[in-house]
Amino acid sequence: MHIYSNIVEQKTLHEQTMAVLQIIADSLVTSFGPYGSATQIKKDDILPKFTKDGHTILKNIYFNGTLEMSIREVLEDLTSHVVKNVGDGTTSAILLSQLIYKRLATKCEPNRDNAEIYNWHLPPAELERQLNELVKRASETIMSQTREIQTYEDIHKIALISTNNNEEMAELISGIYMENGTDVYIDVKRSMDSQDYIKIFDGMTLDAGYADKVFVTNEAESTAEINAPKIYFFEDPIDTPEMINFFSAIIYHNIMEPLKDRRELTPTVIMCPKVSSDIAAVMDPLVKTMMNAKANNFNIPFCLVSDIYKKEVLMDLANLCDARTVRKYISLEQQEKDQEKGDAPTVDTIVDWCGTADAVVAGYNKTKIINPKLMYKEGTTEFSDFYKSIINNLEMQLGQAKQDGKNLNDIGNLRRRIHSMKANMVDLYIGGSTPEERDNRFDAAEDAVLNCMSAAEHGYGWGANIQAFNVFHELHKNPDTGIISVVYNSYLDLLAKLYGSSLGEVPSSYSEASDEVKDMIKTTIETKTPINLRTGEADGLVLSSIKSDITVLDIVANVVGMLVTTKQFLCQSPAHNIYKD
């Protein structure tokens, strides 16, 4: 009698993983680089979509097996980090992951010069550790090579590469920076007609979004838009009975009680570093109420913005909104004294522990606070002395940090605080003569804007994966671990595919590339500069956010680390295990 289980064992898991990665890589490589082709995507009852966007292609690939789909879903989830932060680098991340995993998993022969340093008997966890260490080391080197945006021409070059040489779009984006400065925050939206246009706001931005999609009030933009809200700031996670009671009191007073009494609701936004699962007793009834209201075409004006890990930014925002923050106390005695003086909230007074702004607009990963209360002198459009003093103080701290030679992390934190505080905001609406044209232009604009904003904040370097390639080329001259050669040779293969695409070639590896492709790579090695595939020259025009290659490397480390350390797969049930003999 046969016994069947839901367990897929190591050998089969490895074979299927290799096959899935190869299929996905072969699909994505068709769109790789400026000469890549579009992919047509068809869904039921929707007109076909044509796209070159790697992440869009990835999430529309489907498999008939549970194991294969789970691999694709994990890749989609991990690469979404690229899309959120620097625009599209999905194709590079997946191709590089596939090339590295193939080398590790098949124990392919290394370069003869480095054969003695390969050790294929390392435990998978040690391989993962070495890869993570190498990525960290390379990322620090890449970050040390960053160049600050000096002119709007730098922005134009980055936008031009990101939009696949779309001069009109690059001019539009660089023009926004020219008019509004490098601290501008740009949100790309779809226009309802064929025209491109912009709307300008003033306010602040946070690198955090709504905690649940139920808070969305604008379905078209997938944003929670709360006008004239009371804004509450929790310095610490909402994970203790007292903090949860504060949270509950705000919701009851501003939302639930007015609903019950048929009174006007108080638009409410709560911002915090984190919430615990213990908050479910409060959130579940609220979510149910909000869903019922949506079913009746009514949006409840409430939003929770969590995962705000930069406390300094949270405090800056609270100050500008004229809010008192809610924090935990170690000493109960001190808390009681502060409550008596009115310096700490109670359950009865917590509803007044808030600030205000004209509006809060939260997306899935960004939140805009429009015209916080103390940003302008009352009744004018002139910045307040309070706001200017905050900015001046931060800029003095940044100047001193540079002068004192502080580490890049400290300097980066100060830059982010200034960027959040100074961010005048532009909504960029992208149009098109047809829905298909609009969607393609929107994808290009969104990638370019994310890359430009990242470059404005963190600096820029070479595009086309060359900033990282240069680092690994230097490391490969004197490799101290076998993993260096694995990654370097995988980068050579990646460049062969990229450069080959301009000649109508898709070599599987560097060794199979034509002499012309190898000459292009040789030029890149000699000049340490990417070849501009539009001109065929190493002309210094291929630029990208310095974070682009770092983000790709982070994803590669996560993907490859996960794959090499996973030794079995459990299907939902034995019936789903189609991989048994």
Beta-strand relationship, 569-570 and 230-233 = unpaired
Q: What pLDDT sits at residue 114?
A: 41
pLDDT value of residue 110? 41
Nearest alpha carbon to residue 305 among 257, 368, 241? 368
pLDDT on residue 423:
61
pLDDT of residue 150: 87
Total residues belonging to the chain: 581
Question: Burial level of 232, CB count in 10 A (0-12/13-18/19+)?
Answer: buried
Residues 6 or more apart whose CB falls under 8 angstroms from that of 242 comprise: 328
pTM of the model: 0.75
- Per-residue pLDDT of 127-179, as tens digits, reads 899 999 999 999 999 999 999 998 889 999 999 998 888 899 999 999 998 88
Q: Is 15 helix (H, G, I), strand (E, B) or coil?
A: helix
Retrieve residue 275's tokens.
Answer: 């919430």
pLDDT for res 115 = 38
Report yes or no: 269 and 231 within 8 Å, Cβ to Cβ: yes
pLDDT of residue 4: 83
Task: Quickly list H helices, 349-434.
Answer: 385-403, 408-422
Residue with tokens 């992390």: 409
Angle, alpha carbons 429-431-434 (nearest 5°):
155
Q: Which parts of the chain sit beneath pLDDT 50?
A: 108-119
Q: If we measure between CA atoms, which residue out of 203, 188, 166 comes closest to residue 84?
A: 188
Query: What are the helix and strand counts (H, E) for the chain?
Result: 19, 16
User: Is 547 in contact with 461 (CB distance < 8 Å)?
Assistant: no
What are the pLDDT digits (tens) for 3-51? 889 999 988 999 999 999 999 999 999 989 888 888 999 887 777 888 8
Q: Which of 173, 126, 124 is nearest to 153 (CA)?
A: 173
